[in-house]
Chains A and B, each alone.
Chain A
Amino acid sequence: MALIETETAPERIELHAEHHPHLAHHFESMEQQREAGTLGMWWFLLTEIMFFGGMFLAYTVYRHIYFDAFAAGSNVLSIWWGTFNTAVLIASSLTMALAVFHAQMGNSRKVVRFLLFTIILGTIFLRVKYIEYSDKFEEHVFPAGDFRWPIEHEANRPNNVGDMLLMLIGAEPLNSSPQGPEHAFSVKVTTKYAEKGPYYGVGGQVPEEVQDPGFGGHVRMYFWLYFAMTGFHALHMIIGIGLLLMLAWQARKGKFSREYHSYIELTGLYWHFVDIVWIFLFPLLYLVDRHL
């Protein structure tokens, strides 16, 4: 009873009137509140760095040990979709930054507009990722896949990705590649083995890795990492799009102002962080072994 009286006492109401309605009582000022929010968000992002860092570490170690298998695996990915998606994600970071800019200017209508642009670009990214994933599943190129193009779909075989990997792991293709076993890809990789010298084979000879059943397993390790890293990245994008939808809705209803827009700014930090993860994933997964 006493508590309720305190809450409704006139002096409490006066105190509320003195400061911004969105200022929490444990902060001195809006400025301090904003600073604390930024720091808290960065704290969360540091745990995210460690989360993705573990997978980047696994990638580094396994790429070091299974260098050739990783080269084989990465050459199977579509560099065009990868580049396209990188550009889309960078553009979404720009629209996100502009949404924050308009929030700082207190221009709610433009905030909504740029948040929607960001959502659209994020959705395009995920749609392309879906195409890439389903291509890989159709080619039977995934961690548990047998790397064999299914014979019942022979007519629409897009390329001979599966056969390339089959030759690398030394298995007989179910359906032979139209270009025969001397496919450029396998020749290129074999030549690379020869150049590696004693480290990868004895005396610079072409070693028998190509018949080594372990090689297929090492390529699988590459695809484990590919799907885990891009999958978790995509999950972060999905969460980010959910947050942006919520913000766009709230901005439309006029929740944010020139003085109060922390949610938009902090979600922006999250979105840019996800962009940074992709900035590293793209060269490491798609690009580094293209020259081989």
Chain B
Amino acid sequence: MSEHIVPKKIYYRIFGALLVGTALTVIFAFINLGNFNIVAALLIAIAKALLVITFFMHVKYSSRLTKLWVAVGFIWLFIMLAITMTDYLSRAWLVYRP
């Protein structure tokens, strides 16, 4: 398997998509979606991160082992966040005072 060269055109398109994503996230921040503001912000951020990882970081064209490596990293991060939050979110005896 020789090195895959991504055409320049794709880089420019990804750049455009990332700028659109940035604009969208700023616009959504000023619209009151209640609890969904954080959801919208994170979804856009994840989409942007995926574009960077897939194309700018060439993971799409990398070996399966590299893909697995990358996925494992983010899955571990997710496990760390998710398990810790199951604890904090279930501490009903704590009354959170700002």
Using CB atoms and an 8 Å cutoff, list the residues of chain A in contact with chain B.
31, 34-35, 38-39, 42-43, 45-46, 49-50, 53, 56-57, 60-61, 64-69, 79, 83, 86-87, 90-91, 93-94, 96-98, 101, 104-105, 193, 199-200, 207, 209, 212, 214-215, 218, 265, 268-269, 272-273, 275-276, 279-280, 282-284, 286-292
Contacts and interface: CB of A to CB of B under 8 A. Distances in A.
A199 B55 CA distance: 44
Majority-rule SS of B interface residues = helix
Given A46-B72, A272-B52, A288-B37, A83 B98 contact: no
B41 A283 contact: yes
A105 B4 CA distance: 11
A209 B97 contact: yes
Nearest to B98: A68
Closest 4 CB pairs of A and B: A68-B98, A287-B29, A46-B73, A283-B41
Contacts of B42: 283
Contact of B66 (A39, A56, A214): A39
15 contacts: A42-B69, A42-B73, A57-B80, A60-B85, A66-B96, A66-B98, A83-B26, A87-B22, A90-B19, A93-B18, A104-B3, A268-B57, A282-B45, A287-B25, A287-B26
Interface residues of B, number: 55
Contacts of B6: 97, 101
A111 to B, nearest CB: 14
B48 A279 contact: yes
Contacts of B33: 291
B48 to A, nearest CB: 5
Given A61-B84, A272-B52, A280-B45, A31 B2 contact: yes
Contact of A65 (B25, B84, B96): B96
Interface of B: 1-3, 5-6, 8, 11-12, 14-15, 18-19, 22, 25-26, 29-33, 37-38, 41-42, 44-45, 48-49, 52-53, 55-58, 62-63, 65-66, 69-70, 72-74, 76-77, 80-81, 84-85, 88-89, 94, 96-98
Contact of B70 (A42, A83, A209): A42
A45 to B, nearest CB: 7
Given A49-B74, A291-B33, A94 B12 contact: yes
Contacts of A86: 22
Given A212-B98, A276-B52, 8 more contacts: A34-B3, A38-B66, A42-B73, A49-B77, A193-B98, A272-B52, A272-B53, A284-B45
